[in-house]
Amino acid sequence: MADYAQFYRRSLDERDAFWAEQAELIDWKQPPQQICDYSHPPFARWFVGGTTNLCHNAVDRHLSQRALQPALICVSTETGQERSYTFSELHVEVQRMAAVLRALGVRRGDRVLLYMPMIAEAAFAMLACARIGALHTVVFGGFAASSLASRIDDAEPTVIVSADAGSRGGKVVPYKPLLDEALRIAHHKTAQVLMVERGLAPMSLVPGRDHAWTTLREQHLNAEVACEWVDATHPSYTLYTSGTTGRPKGVQRDTGGYAVALAASMRHIFDAEAGQTLFTAGPPQGEKAAPCPSGAQDAPAPGGGDPRERRSVGVFFCTSDIGWVVGHSYIIYAPLIAGMATILYEGLPTRPDAGVWWSLVEKYRVTHMFSAPTAVRVLKKQDPRYLRRYDLSSLTALFLAGEPLDEPTAHWISDALGVPIVDNYWQTETGWPILTIARGVEKLPTRLGSPGFPMYGYDVRLVDEATGEDLKEPNQKGVLAIEGPLPPGCMQTVWRDDARFVGTYWGSIPGRQIYSTFDWGIRDKDGYYFILGRTDDVINVAGHRLGTREIEECIAQHAGVAEVAVVGVADALKGQVAMAFAVARDATGLDAAARLRLEGEIMKLVDGQLGAVARPARVHIVALLPKTRSGKLLRRALQAVCEGRDPGDLTTMEDPAALEQARALAQG
Ligand code: AMP
């Protein structure tokens, strides 16, 4: 096993040679002429001159060796269905979807917006876009109509792909009415909508605009759609993420750099590989619907009947959602690029019982699992015997990301599973981990509370917020920043807004152009990094990133609200929850019933505009908000009192009574 420190240094000191080697992990039509063009910082162009295709690398290139190996395993504990697709079947379905998208007018460079639950067709659609050189823009299925509309307006999609409904905890969530409403309020008029009919909710199709997937699929059953070879720098997708303003940012990613980064991460970070088994014979599978989770006769486990074969196949189970970056990278692209089987899971971790994930680990011989601390905290509340019921011997490690991993949670899951628990820190913007342990290079020990070390390619610095200087001593708190160029796979720019990319990410540290993560961090004497929270107004609820300003802007639209502040407050289960403090326009005469009504209306407004993910845990109606004498809202002080902490220096505060009231309400 190599020495990680050396591996890391080489990635920076011999950058081009290092990444040229990584580039060999994927297939190229034309090999790159130049590894990194950084002639216009901070814009990095990776693998210039190379042409490739993400779908080819995820699907087609495995056909010669793994055609009959399971590639995509779809499990829904909401509908009780399990369907497994081999690489060969996936190839067929993706071509059908690609043909349908083409028939609906999608061309290279066009955007296709996906508003979908966790179903196989979502994966087909993402891969089909990649196949024809179109960009997908996945919008999380939990988002409400106006959030969806603002993304439609920014992405200007040629086609939207959606489904009649999602389902959560057994409750059907109809998507079509939300989509219809979004299309009504959006300025951009999307000509074509492709609807997958799951039969969960009735829906009516708008003639001339809406099309049924089953009908169009039938028309393209034998479609052969070749991969479009695109430049390495051709954008593969955009994905919206929250920032400090209400306007979401479309993170734009390239093709070649992303494919290389993911392939390299599977090898060096996740220590994952497809396995040696050659699948050259066996019955075709797929399109089977069977009860789950315990039905052993439904989707066959990777490796078919021979247990020796099963053990040699890599199976990746990432419990995220395709609406988030983790889902893009580690449900869809990375496992498939690596030739592994990937599990797409629709459902809760606790339904039908808290053993469901582990039953899947046993059944499919999952080798690598990827989840979020918040899900583990949910499981921690359940009977630990659920974990011991299943044979988890196939599992090599559990990776957790998206929010800080607290010690009790890490201990609990580590004791329960008996495999390494690996924290990894990254962002929508980077697409793959910035800090973790590169287990495929050197299995360095983990340290509780720390995601680990900077990953190869990331020139990570801790900088002084005021002076912009590097903090070189251990245990100094600074802004976690990355010296350019960002490594392959990271964002190219903000969709159609280069100025925002430069200004927001590269312009916040005084005196230097360096990428800011907007996270505080420290490094201990042994080089382990620790994340200490955001430097901006972004909060993290159950691993989902929300801009408090976005929620404030929404609440401020309520006619009865004069002013509002939203802060993130520590929560044992979700990490953080949003807490809103609203000043009523007409405070006099607002009795308890009227307050309750106003709170309810505000919650509904947020649900309707941003979706339930953004709903504050509480809306407190207050007389005034804590501000400085110059009128600046003291959000950090507000947050501190909500968490029972000392709010710090309040000498510049206008009226201490505001904070007292907030404290009483938050603690009451
Ligand atoms: P997102 O772009 O939604 O993935 O959110 C990224 C943000 O989540 C980061 O900037 C951090 O604030 C937080 N985050 C992600 N992973 C971790 C982690 N392992 N530890 C602490 N914070 C994390």
Average pLDDT, integer, range 245-264:
92
Tally of CB atoms within 10 A around 460: 19
Establish whether residue 427 lines the binding site of ligand 1, counting it when its CB lies within 6 angstroms of any ligand atom. yes
Average pLDDT, integer, range 22-30:
98
Q: CB under 8 Å to 21, separation ≥6 — which residues?
A: none
User: Could you identify the residue written with the tokens 């004069």?
Assistant: 562
Q: Which CATH number fits domain 4-506: 3.50.50.60, 3.40.50.720, 3.40.50.12780, 3.30.1330.60?
A: 3.40.50.12780
Query: For residue 130, is pLDDT > 70?
Result: yes
Q: CB under 8 Å to 662, separation ≥6 — which residues?
A: 581, 620, 622, 626, 638, 641, 642
* Run of H or E including 95: helix 87-103
Ligand 1 atom closest to the Cα of residue 436 is 19
DSSP 208: T
Helix residue ranges per DSSP H, 367-430: 373-380, 385-388, 407-417
For residue 650, name the pLDDT band (cuts at 50, 70, 90): confident
Establish whether residue 372 lines the binding site of ligand 1, counting it when its CB lies within 6 angstroms of any ligand atom. no
The values of phi and psi at residue 552, to 5°, are: -60, -45
Query: For residue 369, is pLDDT > 70?
Result: yes
Establish whether residue 545 lines the binding site of ligand 1, counting it when its CB lies within 6 angstroms of any ligand atom. yes
Least Cα distance to 629 among 643, 609, 650 occurs for 650
Token code pair at residue 653: 């505060």
Average pLDDT, integer, range 612-635:
84
The pLDDT of residue 301: 53
Strand partners, 490: none
Pairing of strands 34-40, 43-48: antiparallel
| Per-residue three-class SS string for 604-617 | HHHHHHCCHHHCCC
pTM comes to 0.88
Residue 409 vs residues 72, 114, 365, 453: alpha-carbon distances, Å: 30, 34, 24, 21
Distance 240 CA to ligand 1 centre (A): 15
d(CA 335, CA 3): 25
Distance 216 CA to ligand 1 centre (A): 40
What is the chain's length?
668
Establish whether residue 402 lines the binding site of ligand 1, counting it when its CB lies within 6 angstroms of any ligand atom. yes
Establish whether residue 531 lines the binding site of ligand 1, counting it when its CB lies within 6 angstroms of any ligand atom. yes
The pLDDT of residue 245: 64
User: Could you identify the residue written with the tokens 């070749």?
Assistant: 226
Strand partners, 570: 576
Q: Is the Cβ–Cβ distance between 529 and 518 less than 8 Å?
A: no
- Give the architecture (CATH level 2) of 542-667: 2-Layer Sandwich (3.30)
Q: CB under 8 Å to 175, separation ≥6 — which residues?
A: 115, 116, 117, 141, 162, 163, 164, 165, 166, 201
Q: Is the peptide bond before 352 cis (omega within 30 degrees of 0)?
A: yes
Domain residue extents for the chain: 4-506, 542-667
**Among 243-247, 295-299, 540-544, which is the least confidently predicted range?**
295-299
Give percent of the chain above pLDDT 90.
Answer: 72
For residue 291, name the pLDDT band (cuts at 50, 70, 90): very low
In sign, the C-alpha dihedral spanning 55, 58, 64, 67 is negative
Residue of the nearest CA to atom 5 in ligand 1?
Answer: 427
Query: For residue 341, is pLDDT > 80?
Result: yes
Own/partner contacts of 175-178, CB < 8 Å, gap of 24 or more, are: 175/115, 175/116, 175/117, 175/141, 175/201, 176/201, 176/203, 176/204, 178/115, 178/144, 178/145, 178/148
Token code pair at residue 409: 């949670």
DSSP 457: T
DSSP 581: E
Q: Is the Cβ–Cβ distance between 396 and 419 less than 8 Å?
A: yes
Distance 325 CA to ligand 1 centre (A): 11
**Among 37-41, 257-261, 413-417, 586-590, which is the least confidently predicted range?**
586-590
Q: What is the pLDDT of residues 491-546, one digit of tens each?
A: 999 999 999 999 999 999 999 999 999 999 999 999 999 998 888 888 889 888 88
The values of phi and psi at residue 76, to 5°, are: -125, 115
